[in-house]
Amino acid sequence: MSSLTPVDVTSAATAPLRLASGASIPRVGFGTFGSDRYGSDAVARALRIALGAGYRLIDCASVYGNEADVGAVLEEALQDGINRSDLFVMSKIWNDAHEPLAAIASVEKSLTDLRLDYLDAVFVHWPFPNHHAPKAGTDARDPAARPYDHAAFMKLWKALESLVDAGLVRHLGTSNVTIAKLQRILADARIAPGLNEMELHPSFQQGELFQFCLDHEIQPVGYSPLGSPSRPARDTTPDDVSDMDLPPVRAIAEARGIHPALVCLKWAVARGHIPIPFSAKELQIVANLHAALEDPLTPEEMEQLRSAERNSRLIKGQVFLWPEAGSWLDLWDVDGTIPGWNGYGSPTL
């Protein structure tokens, strides 16, 4: 556990957010995606530090390949006195487990690996059953890939609803979806998504989707909150923006005497979405939590950060394209419609 002073998670300034269900959820989470840089052991060590520092929201996923190691740390923390009710543990089913029985098996395996009786939330990691080999390049393609198929997605969602009914899962969440897809999911779901995980950082604020989530009582969770500086090299392009080099971010950081990364986290919390940063370094782990929950940005600073928007999507998802797709933009419904096999304008599945 961390030797540094933990954040007082009981203070008014750090009071949890409320989901539509009435359940509480911490304002800041700890990610467990080590990218290509950190193995399971390093992620487990980081999580142990994070729990000692005061993090109580843990973001996991089956595809990260480290849930067994994460589970060992969670079990240790519970034995050391952390209450299960104070933790909010989330996992995700990967794209190769979209068939209903496979989805159920995936969640059951996550429960076993994480050594838990229930998950606070389960997300569908991507709305497509398109997957790829680990560390695949951006030009890799799944020959069986297909566009978004709403009927198939809802069969998957119904299977996850059954896990909520069984008490194995408390909330369901979507991830990497759009307004167009969420509209269809909300229309047909018996149990509405309570959370939506999406890329969010100052240069990619996703204002319309963010507001849509709030309007429908869906809590936004922001991945890549620092602009994903540690993302794999294969996921970088020359046009990508570095959030921590943006003038408004740097100006606020310099005025406050803090690192630009901490400005990004303060922005997330002040805006109302939940950032899920990862670090393997103790000082950064603790500093991230303190900065996010203490000395909030002023309204003037928040207004200043509106100018940081660059529509800079960093996680483009190229590897999930189907053979006939035109570009990665086909994944994101950029004109408000869901593309079919031959891109925009072709019939939706």
User: Contact, 217 vs 211, CB < 8 A?
Assistant: no
The structure tokens listed for 143 are: 């020959």
- Spatial separation of the C-alpha atoms in residues 91 and 58, rounded to whole Å: 9
CA atoms 270, 276, 279, 280: torsion sign: positive
Strands 24-25 and 17-18: antiparallel
Distance of CA 133 to the CA centre of its chain: 21
Q: Are 103 and 93 within 8 A, CB to CB?
A: yes
Is 290 annotated to bind a ligand? Reply is no
* CB 203, CB 246: distance < 8 Å: yes
Largest CA distance in the chain: 58
76 DSSP assignment: H
Catalytic residues: 64
CB atoms within 10 A of CB 195: 24
C-alpha distances in Å from residue 257, one per residue of 45, 249, 253, 305: 29, 12, 6, 17
Please give the annotated binding residues for substrate, written as ranges. Answer: 125
